[in-house]
Amino acid sequence: MKEKSLVRIIETTLENFKNISYGNIRYFNRSSVERNAEIISGDINGIYGANGSGKTAVIESLDMLQHILCGESVPFSEYEGMFSDSEDMRLGTVFFVENKDEQFKVAYDLKLRKNEEDRRIQIQSEQIQYWIKGTTWKEKHEFFFVNPFYDLDNVISNEPANVISSKYKTRITD
């Protein structure tokens, strides 16, 4: 018997990207995941809305997420004009993950910034939260990463990277 593995996006949040100051999409199966930790079979998602409502921005943000999750750089030339010069862009994504008999909700939150000088899209910070499904969604686990290479104060003072785990209330340095 084949073991079940599944990863689905159930929610996307965008801030300060293209024409979107703030937007949140909860996909069709999100309520089924929250209640029963399952995806309804045969689900198909579509994005529709008026002209200029942010449909393309959502698709482009998911493309950036794909680059990041694959360990690739976000192509600067494709996305440089979509970022604010003064504010970080935030991309939040909630996944439902099913692996064998275990179910998880995983929230991945990024802050990105355009660096004109280096012609790069930089990850300023990342936050990962996850919940394990038991009889309910169990205790939240959380990790927050700050990238010291893009924080000029840390580069100048030569401080190590910070990884903060709220579960253990510790700060791990490398």
pLDDT band at 65; cut points 50, 70, 90? very high
The CA–CA distances, whole Å, from 126 to 5, 8, 13, 77 equal 25, 20, 14, 23
Q: Supply the pLDDT for residue 22.
A: 94
Could you report the per-residue pLDDT of 2-45, keeping only the tens digit for each?
677 888 888 999 999 998 999 998 877 766 677 666 666 666 67
Neighbours of 90 (CB within 10 A): 18
Residues 84-134: tens digit of each pLDDT:
888 899 999 999 888 888 888 899 999 999 989 989 999 988 999 988 887
- The confidence score (pLDDT) of residue 17 equals 93
Spell out the residues 6+ positions from residue 14 whose beta carbon is closer than 8 angstroms to its own: 20, 22, 23, 24, 54, 57, 58, 61, 89, 90, 91, 92
At 4 the pLDDT is 76
pLDDT band at residue 161 under the 50/70/90 scheme: very low
pLDDT for the residue 46: 78
DSSP β-bridge partners for residue 11: 26, 94
5-39+47-173 CATH choice from 3.30.2450, 3.60.15, 3.40.1140, 1.10.1660: 3.40.1140
Q: Can you read off the two tokens belonging to residue 130? A: 């996850």
Residues 131, 136, 142: CA angle, nearest 5 degrees: 20
CA distances from 157 to 63, 163, 174 (A): 35, 18, 15
Average pLDDT over residues 56-80: 92
What does residue 38 show for φ and ψ, rounded to 5 degrees?
-145, 155
Structure tokens at 164: 């903060």
What is the pLDDT averaged over residues 47-59? 88
Residue identified by tokens 């990207």 is 17
* Cβ-contact 59, 23 below 8 angstroms: no
Q: Distance between CA atoms of 77 and 99, rounded to whole angstroms?
A: 37
